[in-house]
Amino acid sequence: MADITSFETLDMEIENVGGKPVVLEALWGGDTRGWSLLLYVYTVSGFSFTKRTTRHFLGHVALPEEMEQFTDGRPSVSFLAEQFGSSASKKYNLTFYFPSPKHADEDCPTWEERHLAITCADCHKLIIPTDSPYLPKDICYDCHLTRERDKELKDDEPCDEGVHMYMCKDGEYEHLGYSTYFDSFTIAPFIDEKVKKRLTKNPVDVVELGREDIIELKCKLEDALSEKLKSYTKPVINERMRKFLITDTIEYKGKDYEITRNSNHEHMEISNFIYSVQTAEKAIAGNYIYKIYFKNGFTYRDDHFLRFIHYVCQGATNIVNINSEHKHILTDTEIMRTLKKLEQVHCVTIYNGEVSITQMGRCLVS
């Protein structure tokens, strides 16, 4: 089916279907490649007793190359669909039916299923009620997630999970990895004792590994890797399996290793170890240090505010804007208390009502 990038393409598809178009329908569909916005037309043929309505799939809305994926926080394809719908309504005097223009949502009814639908209590869009026992019946999934997020924000629950690791020199930061727990890093068992000794229990705890630490780490990693490589076996892959397996060739100490990316735990370990050795080599050669960021006593609200300033406001905003964006959930006092806390732990600076994220703040949410 056609990629519909203009009203002309859509119009051609409608003409190809034939019959009298009465409804143009835009519905979201999702698969492993992501969301797509599908267009259908309902046409009427025959008269009185033989009158029949038929639904035809026309294609999916596709963005012209120069267009960004999102416009004002909404998927850009939905703006295109609205333009197409308005042009089609004018030309054919049809009904344009687009139940979820703001968010991609698979739970909306088709035009013919409208009588089975309810109106979401929060955003008022039509939805087929969920049959999941774990989800509320009166709101859509997006509004359910929004309510959950608002509750986390209001309740200010603890949120200390998440450790970031960077390689740094002269104000330059290269992100090496993120893990929910420190123990999940490949290098964790080799630096565990050192890191624990250096933890201070500050609200934001930054443990540094200097040149000598990284040289020692590299030696330990190389020893462990050479043990693992003793039992390395090259994957035997027949043609049928080749379709399902992803392989890579990695060079280490002048030898090539073919690594199966999915389904082989030993190979994934070898790959992670080689990456860790190479990173340590780069750090030693370039005089970088490692910085590992831990949180103690952080909350969802702290984390949310840092992300809001960093991602939504591109690093800087003012208190008036933060208050107005959160007034439906938080009081001005709650907001000010959170900002002061973030200032105390050097994640933001506040000056004359202007709030800016610091390098420390960026390192916690990048």
Name the site residues for Zn ion (rule: CB under 5 A). 120, 122-123, 140, 143
Instruction: Pick between residue 12 and residue 121 the one whose CB is nearest to Zn ion.
Output: 121
Instruction: Pick between residue 147 and residue 282 the one whose CB is nearest to Zn ion.
Output: 147
Instruction: Pick between residue 60 and residue 125 the one whose CB is nearest to Zn ion.
Output: 125
The least CB distance from residue 301 to Zn ion, in Å, is 23
Instruction: Pick between residue 139 and residue 342 the one whose CB is nearest to Zn ion.
Output: 139
**Other CB atoms within 10 A of residue 205 CB:** 17
Q: 2: which strand partners? A: 59
Instruction: Pick between residue 59 and residue 129 the one whose CB is nearest to Zn ion.
Output: 129
The least CB distance from residue 125 to Zn ion, in Å, is 6
Calculate the dihedral angle through the C-alpha atoms of 50, 55, 56, 58, rounding to the nearest 10 degrees.
140
Which residues lie closer than 8 Å to 309 by C-beta, 6 or more apart? 315, 316, 317, 322, 348, 355, 356, 357, 361
State the amino acid at position 284 in one-letter form: I
The least CB distance from residue 139 to Zn ion, in Å, is 5
Instruction: Pick between residue 143 and residue 206 the one whose CB is nearest to Zn ion.
Output: 143
Radius of gyration of the CA atoms of the chain, in A: 28
The least CB distance from residue 79 to Zn ion, in Å, is 20
Find, among 294, 280, 288, 276, the residue nearest to 186 by Cα: 276
**C-alpha span between 364 and 302 (Å, rounded):** 11
The least CB distance from residue 214 to Zn ion, in Å, is 50
Burial class (CB in 10 A: 0-12, 13-18, 19+), 44: middle
The least CB distance from residue 109 to Zn ion, in Å, is 14
Q: DSSP labels for 339-357?
A: HHHHHHTTSEEEETTEEEE
Q: Looking at residue 49, what DSSP letter applies?
A: G
Instruction: Pick between residue 105 and residue 303 the one whose CB is nearest to Zn ion.
Output: 105
**C-alpha span between 30 and 34 (Å, rounded):** 6
**C-alpha span between 24 and 96 (Å, rounded):** 5
**C-alpha span between 29 and 43 (Å, rounded):** 22
Characterize 61-81 residue by residue with b for buried, 16 or more Cβ atoms within 10 angstroms of its Cβ, and e for exposed. bbeeeeeeeeeeeebbbbbbb
The least CB distance from residue 189 to Zn ion, in Å, is 46
Instruction: Pick between residue 11 and residue 122 the one whose CB is nearest to Zn ion.
Output: 122
Which parts of 43-201 fold into alpha helices (H)? 76-92, 141-155, 188-198
Instruction: Pick between residue 55 and residue 102 the one whose CB is nearest to Zn ion.
Output: 102
